[in-house]
C-alpha cells in the first residue's frame, strides 16, 4: 500500500513537472518573439520619425526663404517707387519752372511798359503831375519787387523739387540694381528650399541635404 502511494505521488510530480516545463517553454518562446519584434518595430518607427523631423526642418527653412523673398520684393518695389516719384517730381518741377519764368518775363515787360509813361510824366514841367508820376513809379516799383520776390520763391521751390526728384532717381537706380540682385538670389533660394521639401515629402529614403549634395556632384 505504501508503494502504491509512492507511485501515485511520483506520477503526480511528473505531471506537475511536465506542465511547468510547457509553461516555461511557452514563456521562453514569447520572450524570443518579443525580443525579435521590438527592434523591428523601433526600426520601422525610426524612419518616419526622422522623415517627419526632416520635413519640419525643411518647412522652417522654406518659411525663412519666403520671408527673405517678400523682403527682397518690397525693396524692388521701393526702388521702383523712388524712380517713378523722382521722374514725376523732375517733370513737374521743370514744367512749373518754365511757367514761372514765362510769367516773370511777362511781368518784366508789363512793368517796363507801365514805367515808360510815368517816367516821362515825372520829368514834366507840371510840378503836380511830376510828383504824382514819381509817387506812382515808387508804388509800381514796390509792387514789382514784391511780385518778383514771390515768383522767385516759387522758382526756387520748383528747383528744389527738381533736385529732390533727381536725388530720388539716383537713389532708386542704385537701390534697384542691388534689390534686383537680392531678389534673384532670394527666388533661387526659395525654389531650392521648395524643391527640397517636395523631395522629402515625396518619400525619398535619403535626407534632402544628401539628395542635393548628390545632384551638386553630378553637376
Q: What is the pLDDT of residue 26?
A: 62
The answer to whether 201 touches 55, Cβ cutoff 8 Å, is yes
Give the tens place of pLDDT for each residue, 93-138.
Answer: 999 999 999 999 999 999 999 999 999 898 988 889 999 999 999 9
Q: What is the pLDDT of residue 3?
A: 43
CATH class of 60-211: mainly alpha
User: Cell numbers of 28, please?
Assistant: 521562453
Give the tens place of pLDDT for each residue, 142-179.
Answer: 999 999 999 999 999 999 999 999 999 999 999 999 99
Q: What is the C-alpha to C-alpha distance for residues 193 and 201, in angstroms, rounded to an integer?
A: 12
Give the tens place of pLDDT for each residue, 17-56.
Answer: 555 556 655 665 565 655 555 455 444 455 568 888 888 9
Q: What is the C-alpha to C-alpha distance for residues 166 and 156, in angstroms, rounded to an integer?
A: 15
User: Cell numbers of 97, please?
Assistant: 519752372
Q: What is the pLDDT of residue 49?
A: 81
- Percent of the chain beyond pLDDT 70? 70
Confidence of residue 83 (pLDDT cuts 50, 70, 90): very high
Q: Which residue do the cell numbers 521590438 mark? A: 38
Amino acid at each position: 500500500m505504501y508503494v502504491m502511494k509512492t507511485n501515485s505521488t511520483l506520477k503526480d510530480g511528473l505531471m506537475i513537472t511536465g506542465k511547468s516545463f510547457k509553461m516555461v517553454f511557452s514563456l521562453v518562446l514569447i520572450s524570443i518573439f518579443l525580443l525579435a519584434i521590438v527592434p523591428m518595430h523601433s526600426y520601422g518607427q525610426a524612419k518616419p520619425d526622422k522623415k517627419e523631423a526632416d520635413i519640419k526642418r525643411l518647412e522652417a527653412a522654406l518659411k525663412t526663404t519666403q520671408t527673405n523673398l517678400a523682403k527682397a520684393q518690397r525693396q524692388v518695389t521701393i526702388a521702383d517707387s523712388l524712380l517713378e516719384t523722382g521722374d514725376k517730381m523732375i517733370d513737374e518741377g521743370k514744367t512749373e519752372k518754365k511757367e514761372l519764368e514765362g510769367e516773370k518775363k511777362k511781368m518784366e515787360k508789363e512793368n517796363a511798359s507801365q514805367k515808360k509813361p510815368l517816367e516821362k510824366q515825372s520829368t514834366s514841367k507840371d510840378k503836380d503831375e511830376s510828383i504824382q508820376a514819381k509817387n506812382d513809379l515808387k508804388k509800381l516799383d514796390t509792387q514789382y519787387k514784391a511780385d518778383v520776390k514771390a515768383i522767385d520763391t516759387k522758382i526756387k521751390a520748383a528747383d528744389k523739387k527738381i533736385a529732390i526728384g533727381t536725388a530720388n532717381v539716383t537713389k532708386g537706380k542704385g537701390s534697384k540694381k542691388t534689390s534686383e540682385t537680392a531678389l534673384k538670389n532670394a527666388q533661387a533660394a526659395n525654389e531650392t528650399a521648395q524643391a527640397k521639401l517636395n523631395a522629402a515629402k515625396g518619400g525619398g529614403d535619403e535626407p534632402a541635404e544628401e539628395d542635393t549634395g548628390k545632384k551638386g556632384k553630378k553637376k
